[in-house]
A and B are shown apart, each in its own frame.
Chain A
Amino acid sequence: MTTMDAAAAVSTGDMVALVGDLWTSVVPFPEEGAAPVEATWPSPAQAVVRGTVDVEGAADVEGAWSGSVVVSCDEESGLRWARAMLALEEDATAADVEDTVAEIANVLGGAVKAQCAGGGRLLLPVVDHGEVGVGPSDPRASLAVSLSWPDAPDAVFTVSLLDA
């Protein structure tokens, strides 16, 4: 089956909007102030690479566009997202971060699939730690949208699209 590449599937503006929608709708504490701050398209060489990647979640899409929607973050950013998304008063745990990153990948995977005319299939998300093989530094990454917090600019959270 011939499929389109990510550039044809989702525009930069749409991707930034999807990530922004996720932030404003799922995270119950918007006053924490994260917002999409950078987007690169379509050259892999322009992909945003900032900070380290400690946790990565991926949801694969098969269909009109086939590839992975990858969510990458460092430990600080993962903890912040988990704490905000789960409305935790206490510190988030590693399991909280895994759940949060997996669900974000799942939600964005579904949203990206919906953008692709012709539909497809969304697979269950997977989460990995440490030295993982995908992310904004991956040469296949064709789009990366990053968010960071005003009080922690080095805590970066990045969403990338990787063609299969």
Chain B
Amino acid sequence: MIGLVVDDSRAMRRIVRGSLERAGMEVLEGADGQQALDVLDAHLAGGGEVPAIATIDWNMPVMDGLALVVALRRRRELRSMALMMVTSESEQAQVVRALAAGAHEYLFKPFTEDALFDKLELLGLMEPATAGETW
């Protein structure tokens, strides 16, 4: 199972990557929306499977998270990919915008690994027992 982590913070990419790897995923990374699209296209062009999930920060340079959600939702071949905003943008109106644009889940920073695992369970990407074995 593949996870795509999109965040302009190297620190946060490292944290989310670690959690997804502990959840049994291989991880791709992008430092902004456009870089994520480039990494994803290269991965798919190489015969890679569609990621099961993309975790997406909101505030990023070049292409922000909302624009990335819109861009990903336009691509039919990526319909199986769950999109989860992982962001410090916790304003209710913004949450609604992201969900309306096609995000499936929302996780506010700061978050615990258990909270991230709960979201993965909710999305059917992780067995509950697995979450209990970690951390």
Residues in A lying within 8 Å of B, measured CB to CB = 21-22, 24-26, 28, 82, 85-87, 95-96, 99-100, 102-103, 106-111, 113-114, 119-120, 122-124
- Other than the known A28-B113, A95-B10, what 10 A-B pairs have Cβ atoms closer than 8 Å? A22-B110, A24-B112, A26-B109, A26-B110, A86-B14, A103-B9, A106-B59, A109-B88, A110-B90, A124-B8
Interface presence of B15 (CB below 8 A): yes
Residue B81, interface by CB 8 Å: no
Residue B45 interfacial (CB < 8 Å): no
Question: Are A106 and B88 in touch, CB under 8 angstroms?
Answer: yes
A104, closest chain B residue (CB): B11
Say whether B91 contacts A119, CB under 8 Å. Answer: yes
- How many angstroms between the C-alpha atoms of A88 and B102 in the bound complex? 35
- CB <8 Å contact, A110 and B11: no
B8 contacts A114, C-beta separation under 8 Å:
no
Tell me the chain B residues, 84-107 only, with Cβ under 8 Å from chain A: 87-91, 93-94
Q: How far is the CA of A82 from the CA of B8 in the complex (A)?
A: 16
Q: Chain B's nearest CB lies how many Å from the CB of A56?
A: 16
When A and B form their complex, what is the total count of cross-chain residue pairs whose Cβ atoms lie within 8 Å?
Answer: 67
Cβ of B90 and Cβ of A85 under 8 Å apart? no
User: Is A114 a contact of B91 with CB atoms below 8 Å?
Assistant: yes
Q: Which chain B residues (1-41) contact chain A, with CB distance < 8 Å?
A: 8-12, 14-15, 18
From A21, A106, A109, contact of B9 by CB (8 A): A106
Q: Decide: B109 and A124 in contact? CB cutoff 8 A.
A: no
Q: How far apart are B35's CB and chain A's nearest CB, in angstroms?
A: 15
Query: When the two chains form the complex, which single residue of B9, B10, B88, B93 contacts A110, counting CB atoms closer than 8 Å?
Result: B88
